[in-house]
Amino acid sequence: MANADLAEYVDALWLVVVTIVTVGYGDCVVVGFPGRLCVVLGGVVGGAAICSMCRVVVVGALTITPNERDVIDIITERTQTTERRSVAVRLIQAEWRRYKAMTVGPPTDGLPSRRDGVAFTVHKANVLKFK
């Protein structure tokens, strides 16, 4: 059907669809500038319409619902609680070790590093408090 007139509306729609999906079978060819302009505009507008529909579907699928937000908040809260408890336990352990080292015998070489460890643990606890 090369250089055939597109007398039927269905043939014109088929040509636009073939143009939009960039297959270009070659079974229909538009003759003349106005026809080619219509096919190009139909391809651009149709392609933009398909892209916008795909965008709506993807954005709708990726949007977090209020229930999902609640679940994320609960998981975050539990994670932070666990981390705070872990820091509190390490702080108590470090202080207990420092106390035992100070009261049981003479200061050891490891005592200054333990003080630094306690200071770091206290700092981490303060950071977690403000999360």
- Report DSSP letters for 78-128, one per residue: HHHHHHHHHHHHHHHHHHHHHHHHHHHSSPPTTHHHHHHHHHHHHHHHHHH
Q: Is-contact 28 6, C-beta < 8 A?
A: yes
- Average pLDDT (45-58) is 89
pLDDT at 45 over 80: yes
pLDDT digits 0-9 by tens, 66-114: 999 999 999 999 998 998 898 888 888 888 887 777 777 655 555 455 5
- What is residue 107's predicted lDDT score, i.e. its pLDDT? 55
pLDDT at 44 over 80: yes
- What is residue 3's predicted lDDT score, i.e. its pLDDT? 46
- What is residue 69's predicted lDDT score, i.e. its pLDDT? 94
Q: Is the whole-model pTM more than 0.85? A: no
Q: How far apart are CA 4 and CA 14, in angstroms?
A: 14
- What is residue 73's predicted lDDT score, i.e. its pLDDT? 95
Average pLDDT over the chain, rounded to whole?
76
